Structure 1
């Protein structure tokens, strides 16, 4: 990826990692002039946000708060990996599900 593409999309990519409000802001910022670097990180964060919501509803309800806390901690670690990748200007996929997030949300 070109250095100019990364520099232009870096701010949007970083903003996308500030949970739901940051994700919405990043999506709006990237809507007019699509940046492939920003889009990559937006897709990663959309996947993490959906997993986080499902963790609270499904895991928390059926397996208890302890299980939801453990899964939540794992999601937090994945969030840190993605966030550091955005800061460093890398398209670092989130382990385990990064490829699927890119495929499932490719139209974003």
Structure 2
């Protein structure tokens, strides 16, 4: 994570930048994902392609719980905007019975693992590159 005000690399748990003292949510001059300078009015970073919009962020807790309880259907991936991955999970979870009943089991384990990774913070962005809120 990088400071949006000065571009200095920050700890993921930091509240303010140690270099400039700016709140981690403030600033529009640098990309929080790659640290490259951006236009203050840009919607997307031209260096890494991630979204620079802060509004509309999704909850880690909601996504994690959806992954744990409905992960075999890919609901958490639909919620986060990973549509392709979600469709693969739906097809594997519902039509995978043709693979000797392994499809739903594999899809369920996949969803459970992703749900846990979401809750512990290893997956921390949605499908558009926006940071997930706690």
TM over 0.5: no
Which structure has the higher relative contact order (CA within 8 Å, separation 6+)?
1
Higher helix share: 1
Larger radius of gyration, structure 1 or 2? 2
